[in-house]
Structure 1
């Protein structure tokens, strides 16, 4: 094991560049998947005819496919499909964001739907009987309470998303694990020091998210 060589300034800088790409992809995938997942979850909760059923099918398909397959499909299959004569070709980071967004949005939509369904029906009926419409009841009664219950599973899902960015190494996304592999290939004494450092980096980032989750739970309790 060569800790001094593995932790040279050049290698550490290269790892930080990979971490930057990991956080970049995770940030946008979290934002987009949260917005899309919330929208899909609310639509399914409201049981809008046809739309809810179509969304249910799409969500179940995405949830039951391996994320790696979705990454491959977005990166290699979609560019070969022509939509009205238009072909979509993505850069590797954009393709990774799209794939992660699709997969995580399906997961988040289920979290949102379950959180909204956890609100007692009596409260919904009381709101409706007091003159509030469906949307008003959802906005003022159901969503505020449901969001508080969603915080822990949502943060857990975001942590999983951040870790799942490492799967994009298969399409050569220059994220943390990709750069770590390149460094480990330089010297057979580097793998253990580099893997220990990468594990620590993932732990610090994900543990920080867990602490934020606990703080949010405390504030909304």
Structure 2
């Protein structure tokens, strides 16, 4: 084990460059999947005619496919029909599609958990369906969704490592290159990568607990 060689200035900078790509991909995937997941989850909760059954089929289809397959499909299959994306765009698109399906179910479950008595009381006071959803159901539902949403975001961050299969220059891809310079670098490099993932995800967990405690 060559810790000194593995942790040379050049190698550390190279790994940090990979971490930067990982965080960029995770950031945009989280934002996009959250927005899309919320819209789809609300549509499913509201049982919008025609749209809700379509969303149900799409969500169940995506949730039961491996993320790796979606990554391969977007990167290698879509160009066959004229849709071409760069490495980062393909990774973000795949993660967004996959995670949006998961988040849609979290959103739908959170909204469904709201006591029906509150909904009936809101409607009896003159609020319409949309007003009830916006002012009564959604604020309470979002508070209940915080822990599972953060857990899903942590999973998303870890799933960015799967983009190594399309040679996205993210953290694991760069770690593999460092290890390729000498197998004595393997254990030190992987330990450092594990520490980086743990630190970022642990910070997200702390944020989740803080948000949850503030709501209680």
TM, length-normalised to structure 1: 0.97
**Does 2:155 correspond to 1:160?**
yes
Q: How does 1:187-198 map to 2 (within 5 A)?
A: 187-198=182-193
Q: Residues 55-92 of structure 1, C-alpha deviation per residue, up to 9 Å, x if partnerless?
A: 000000000000000000000001111xxxxx221000
1:84 is matched with none
Q: Distance in 2 between matches of 1:77 and 1:220?
A: 45
Task: Measure how far apart 1:112 and its partner are.
Answer: 0.1
| Runs of 4+ with >2 A deviation | none
Tell me how many residue pairs correspond in the alignment. Answer: 216
1:139 is matched with 134
Q: Residues 138-177 of structure 1, C-alpha deviation per residue, up to 9 Å, x if partnerless?
A: 0110011100000000000000000000000000000000
Helix, strand or coil for the counterpart of 1:190? helix
Q: Residues 149-206 of structure 1, C-alpha deviation per residue, up to 9 Å, x if partnerless?
A: 0000000000000000000000000000000000001111000000000000000000
Q: Distance in 2 between matches of 1:188 and 1:121?
A: 60
1:14 is matched with 14
Task: Measure how far apart 1:11 and its partner are.
Answer: 0.2
Q: Distance in 1 between matches of 2:113 and 2:170?
A: 38
1:74 is matched with 74
Q: Distance in 2 between matches of 1:143 and 1:187?
A: 53
1:208 is matched with 203
Helix, strand or coil for the counterpart of 2:126? coil
1:36 is matched with 36
Task: Measure how far apart 1:219 and its partner are.
Answer: 1.3
**Gapped regions of structure 1 (runs ≥ 5):** 82-86
Task: Measure how far apart 1:27 and its partner are.
Answer: 0.2
Q: Distance in 2 between matches of 1:193 and 1:59?
A: 40
1:172 is matched with 167
TM, length-normalised to structure 2: 0.99
2:92 is matched with 97
Task: Measure how far apart 1:106 and its partner are.
Answer: 0.1
Q: Residues 103-146 of structure 1, C-alpha deviation per residue, up to 9 Å, x if partnerless?
A: 00000000000000000111101111110000000011001110
Helix, strand or coil for the counterpart of 2:65? coil
**Gapped regions of structure 2 (runs ≥ 5):** none
Task: Measure how far apart 1:218 and its partner are.
Answer: 1.2
Q: Distance in 2 between matches of 1:7 and 1:75?
A: 33
